[in-house]
């Protein structure tokens, strides 16, 4: 399927979704978010895809929600129709790993969308910020919630209250990104990481994602019980038989279809 505001590339068992509104710095409007939801659900259900990469261009991941589109909205245009809530969080329902790759700006809703990914790979050109206060609103897609849980209250307050952007090195120091690569190498490196995950058992990768996300929604004791259920269930899978046999036979595992 062709999308107006997204580009899709296939790399083996990895699919790359590119946000693509270059004239508006990839500002995230309703159409793009509807298309993103459609693409994410489609690839999550596609057995030929194990890992999804979400990225923008070399210059910008996304400069936020589309200010031009929302500037004249009233409360009645937002609350009753659930603006943002209606189409921004499909990514949270995706069960396969989603790797965000950020080059250039990830601002406002762009930073919030990046924080909904499971891993974040940054180019050294990346800049993260939550400048909503400058346009007279609070964040609306989890910025005040995911940022403090990720980088801590005091670093988060600094970004949210002062609009200060942080670069890739600071983001990595603060735990906001998983790894940083030179801008001209970042996609190649991200695809290598994505392909290495895609070569594992997709069901184990999905269980790990589910367990890690559970850590943010429950107590430690309940989270560990949750993880242990997956661990025990693993002994009923072909992935466990293949992985452990391969280790003992000193060969590479083949998790194809497992
Ligand atoms: C609509 C945007 C936009 C945005 C950029 N553009 N960001 N349009 N919504 N969020 C448009 C500009 O209007 C301009 O259009 C074109 O993209 C190029 O932008 P420039 O500003 O000319 O480029 P540059 O000088 O390189 O500056 C880049 C920038 C700046 C630093 C990213 O554009 C910027 O500060 N953007 C806004 C960032 C922001 O405030 N984000 C938070 C939005 S609120 P024309 O037609 O003039 O060429 C938000 C709420 C989230 O995200 C809550 C719910 C999710």
Are 150 and 206 found together in one domain? no
Report the C-alpha gap between 83 and 81 in whole angstroms.
6
Q: Is residue 256 assigned to a domain?
A: no
Q: Give the pLDDT of residue 104.
A: 98
Are 108 and 224 found together in one domain? no
Between 153-162 and 143-151, two packed helices, what is the crossing angle to 10 degrees? Answer: 140
Among 62, 63, 65, 123, the active-site one is 65
b/e code 44-65 from CB counts within 10 Å (16+ = b): beeeebbbbbbbbbeebbbbbb
Q: Is residue 58 assigned to a domain?
A: yes
Name residues whose C-beta falls within 8 Å of residue 143's C-beta, 6 or more positions apart in sequence.
108, 111, 112, 115, 130, 132, 160
Q: Catalytic residue at 112?
A: yes
Q: Is residue 176 assigned to a domain?
A: yes
* Tokens found for residue 82: 């659930």
Q: Give the pLDDT of residue 64.
A: 98
Among 109, 110, 129, 142, the active-site one is 109
> In testing the pocket of ligand 1, which one of 26, 57, 64 has its CB within 8 Å of the most ligand atoms?
64
- Cα(30) to centroid(ligand 1), Å: 16
Q: Is residue 169 assigned to a domain?
A: yes
Q: Catalytic residue at 199?
A: no
* CA angle (209, 211, 212) in 5-degree steps: 65
In the chain, the number of structural domains is 2
- Cα(73) to centroid(ligand 1), Å: 17
Are 116 and 206 found together in one domain? no
Q: Give the pLDDT of residue 1.
A: 73
Q: Give the pLDDT of residue 229.
A: 98
Closest atom of ligand 1 to 139 CA is 53
Are 183 and 206 found together in one domain? no
Tell me, what CATH number does 206's domain have?
1.10.12.10
Are 133 and 215 found together in one domain? no
Closest residue CA from atom 17 of ligand 1:
24
- Cα(129) to centroid(ligand 1), Å: 12
Are 190 and 223 found together in one domain? no
Query: ipTM of this model?
Result: 0.98
Closest atom of ligand 1 to 130 CA is 42
**CB distance 62 to 19 below 8 Å:** yes
The residue among 242, 246, 172 whose CA lies nearest residue 201 is: 242
In whole angstroms, how far apart are CA 145 and each of 15, 115, 137, 153?
29, 10, 15, 10
Q: Give the pLDDT of residue 257.
A: 86
Q: Is residue 255 assigned to a domain?
A: no
Q: Which of 198, 218, 237 is the last residue of a domain?
A: 198
Closest residue CA from atom 30 of ligand 1:
63
**Which residues form the pocket of ligand 1, taking CB atoms under 6 Å from any ligand atom?**
24-25, 27, 63-68, 84, 105, 107-109, 112, 131-132, 135, 139-141
Q: Is residue 253 assigned to a domain?
A: no
Q: Which of 198, 217, 232 is the last residue of a domain?
A: 198
Q: Is residue 168 assigned to a domain?
A: yes
* Tokens found for residue 25: 């710095």
Tally: H helices and E strands in the chain: 11, 10
Closest atom of ligand 1 to 134 CA is 40
Q: Is residue 35 assigned to a domain?
A: yes
**CB distance 30 to 87 below 8 Å:** yes
Which 3 state secondary structure label does DSSP give 62? strand
Among 27, 56, 112, 126, the active-site one is 112
Are 49 and 155 found together in one domain? yes
- Cα(251) to centroid(ligand 1), Å: 51
Are 231 and 117 found together in one domain? no
Instruction: List the domain range (segments joined by +) for residue 34.
Output: 6-198
Q: What is the pTM of this model?
A: 0.98
| 34 exposure class (CB count in 10 Å sphere: 0-12, 13-18, 19+) | middle
pLDDT beneath 50, residues of the chain: none
* CA angle (240, 243, 246) in 5-degree steps: 140
Q: What is the 3-state secondary structure (H, E, C) of 75-133?
A: HHHHCCCCCCCCCCCHHHHCCCCEEEEECCEEECHHHHHHCCCCEEEEECCCEEECHHH
Tell me, what CATH number does 60's domain have?
3.90.226.10
Q: Give the pLDDT of residue 249.
A: 98
Are 156 and 184 found together in one domain? yes
* CA angle (101, 103, 109) in 5-degree steps: 75
């Amino acid at each position: 399927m062709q999308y107006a505001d997204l580009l899709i590339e296939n790399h083996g068992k990895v699919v790359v979704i590119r946000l693509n509104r270059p004239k508006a710095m990839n500002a995230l409007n309703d159409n793009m978010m509807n298309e993103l939801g459609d693409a994410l659900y489609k690839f999550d259900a596609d057995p030929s895809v194990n890992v999804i990469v979400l990225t923008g261009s070399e210059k910008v991941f996304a400069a936020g929600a589309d200010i031009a589109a929302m500037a004249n909205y009233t409360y009645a245009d937002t609350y009753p129709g659930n603006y943002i809530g209606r189409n921004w969080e499909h990514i949270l329902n995706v069960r396969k790993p989603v790797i965000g790759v950020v080059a250039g700006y990830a601002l406002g809703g762009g930073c919030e969308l990046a924080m909904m990914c499971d891993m974040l790979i940054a180019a050294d050109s990346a800049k993260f910020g939550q400048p909503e206060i400058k346009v007279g609103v609070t964040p609306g897609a989890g910025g005040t919630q995911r940022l403090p849980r990720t980088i801590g209250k005091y670093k988060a307050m600094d970004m949210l209250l002062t609009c200060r952007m942080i670069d890739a090195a600071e983001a990595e120091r603060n735990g906001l990104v998983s790894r940083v690569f030179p801008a001209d190498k970042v996609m190649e490196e991200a695809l290598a990481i994505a392909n290495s995950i895609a070569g594992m058992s997709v069901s184990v990768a999905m269980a790990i994602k589910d367990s890690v996300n559970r850590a943010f929604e429950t107590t430690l004791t309940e989270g560990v019980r949750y993880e242990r259920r997956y661990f025990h269930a693993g002994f009923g899978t072909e992935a466990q038989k293949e992985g452990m046999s391969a280790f003992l036979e000193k060969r590479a595992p083949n998790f194809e279809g497992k």
